[in-house]
Structure 1
C-alpha cells in the first residue's frame, strides 16, 4: 500500500511571477512530499522588482473555498500567509480555531513586506487583527525582521522583539534575519536560540520567507517536532537561495526549493505518428 501523502493547506495571495505567495507555497510543500490545497484570499501583480497592484478576493469566496477543502481533504497542517483585510481575518479566526481544536498545526507567516521591499500592508488595524485573530490558533509565527517590528510596535533586537510578540499571545516566534544578521531567531516562551544556516549573497531571495513557513508547515504535517521542523525548514530555505534561479528576473531572483527541475534532455527517436 502506498504511504499516505500529507495534505497541507495554504491560505494566502498569488504572486504573478511565481516565486512567492501561493505559487511558492505549492512548490515548497511538494519539495517535502506534501499535497497542496489552496485558499486564495488576494491577487497581486508583482515580479522580482516589486508589487504594482493588489486585489482582495471577496470574504464569502474565501470562506467557501476553505469549507470546500475542509469538507473533502484530511488537512494535516495549515499555513496562513498574506492577509491584508481585517474583515477577512475576522472570518478566518473561527475556521482556524476549528483546525487548532483538532490538533492541526497552524503556521502564521504575517507577510507585510516582500523581499524586493514592497509593502503589502503596514496598516495598524491589520496588525491588530493578525494578533487578535491568528495568534490564538497558531503554533508558530514567522515574521521577517521588519514585520516583527510592526507586530511588536517597536524596534529592538530580535530577542527583544520575540519576547514582545510572545507576550502578545504567540506560542512560538521565529524571526528570520534582517540585513547584517544570520540565522533564524527562535523563541518558544522559555528558550531563545539563534539557529545557524548558510547565508548567500546571490540576490536569489524572492519567496524565501514564504518557502520557510510553508516548509515548516510541511514538515509538521510529517510529524516533526516544532523545533526540528523550524530548524530543517531554515536549512532547506537557505539551500533554495543557494540554488536560486539567478537567470530569472531583473532584481531579487526566485529561490528554487525544488532543486530537481532541470533542463529535460531531448527524446531520441522518431516522433509519434510519423
Structure 2
C-alpha cells in the first residue's frame, strides 16, 4: 500500500484539515500519515482560534514519520507561521535532496526531486479567519513553492500571490480553483511550468456543505500521484472525487453551518 503524508492543521469537527485529508487519502486506497502544524478551534460555523504547533514538535513529527515510513507523496495544507514553513522546507530538502529555490528558477518544479508534493496555500478560512500569517506567505513562496509538484490556490489566494514582488507564476505548476467564480460551472485551470494549460470543468453543485473541499482535492491529487498517475491524470481524478463528494454530501446534515463533504470508499467514478 502506498503511503501519503499530510502536513496540515487539525480540525476538531473533522470536516477539513488533517481529518479530511486522512479520510480522502484512505478512501482512495492509500495509507495516510500526518504531521500537525496547527491546532484550530473550529466547527461548521467557523474558525474561532488557531494555535501554531511549536517548530521543534513539527520537526520531530516529520523526522519520526520520514525516518520510518516509505512516503510516496506529500500533501501540505495549513502553515500558520514563517517558522513552521521554514522547518518543513528544511526537513524536506534534507530528506529528499531538494535544492535551494534559487537553483530551480529555470527548471520545471519537481524535475529533480524524489517525491511528489502538493501544496494547498490555505490563507483565509471561509468564515474569514486568517490561517497563515502574512510573514509566512513569503517563506512559503520562497522556500516551499519550488519544492512542489503542484500548488492549488483558489482565486483569492492566487490574487494574493500575484501581488507579491518576485512571484513568477510561470515557474510553477498551478491548479487555480474556480469555486469562487460566478456561473454554473466549476472550472479549475491547470497551468504548467512548461506553458501547457488545461481546463477541468464540472457542473457547479448547489450545496451548503462545502467544508474541506480544498483539503479533499489536494489530498486526492497527492494520493493519485502516489499511485503512479501522471499529474494531469491525478488532477482529473481529484476533481472527479471532490465533485462526487459534494454531490453525495449536499444533504448530509452534519453541524449547523457549512458542513463537510461526504467521502466513503469507492466514491471515485471509474476513470479508466
TM-score by length of 2: 0.85
The aligned residue for residue 106 of structure 2 is none
> Does 2:220 align with 1:215?
yes
Distance 2:223 2:140 in 1: 22
Distance 1:259 1:33 in 2: 8
Distance 1:117 1:194 in 2: 28
- Within the candidate set 243, 249, 252, 1:246 is matched to 252
> Does 2:136 align with 1:132?
no
Distance 1:173 1:165 in 2: 11
1:200-239 matched pairs, under 5 angstroms: 200-239=205-244
Distance 2:214 2:79 in 1: 15
The aligned residue for residue 104 of structure 2 is none
TM-score by length of 1: 0.84
The aligned residue for residue 146 of structure 1 is 156
Length, aligned pairs only: 245
User: What residue ranges of structure 1 are gaps of 5+ in the alignment?
Assistant: 155-163, 262-274
Distance 1:259 1:90 in 2: 35
- Asked whether the equivalents of residues 96 and 106 of structure 1 are also in contact (C-alpha less than 8 Å), the reply is no
Distance 1:19 1:233 in 2: 17
The aligned residue for residue 176 of structure 2 is 175
After superposition, what is the alpha-carbon deviation per residue over 1:53-89, rounded to whole angstroms, capped at 9, x for unaligned?
1111110011101001111100000011000210111
- Within the candidate set 177, 180, 191, 1:187 is matched to 191
> Does 2:96 align with 1:99?
yes
> Does 2:17 align with 1:18?
no
Distance 1:210 1:92 in 2: 18
The aligned residue for residue 265 of structure 1 is none
User: What residue ranges of structure 2 are gaps of 5+ in the alignment?
Assistant: 99-112, 268-272
Distance 1:179 1:61 in 2: 38
- Asked whether the equivalents of residues 19 and 206 of structure 1 are also in contact (C-alpha less than 8 Å), the reply is yes
Tell me how large the CA RMSD over aligned residues is: 1.8
- Within the candidate set 160, 165, 169, 1:166 is matched to 169
1:19-168 matched pairs, under 5 angstroms: 19-97=15-93, 98-99=95-96, 101=98, 103-121=114-132, 123-153=133-163, 165-167=168-170
The aligned residue for residue 255 of structure 1 is 261
User: Runs of at least 4 residues of structure 1 off by over 6 A?
Assistant: none
After superposition, what is the alpha-carbon deviation per residue over 1:7-33, rounded to whole angstroms, capped at 9, x for unaligned?
000001001110100000000101110
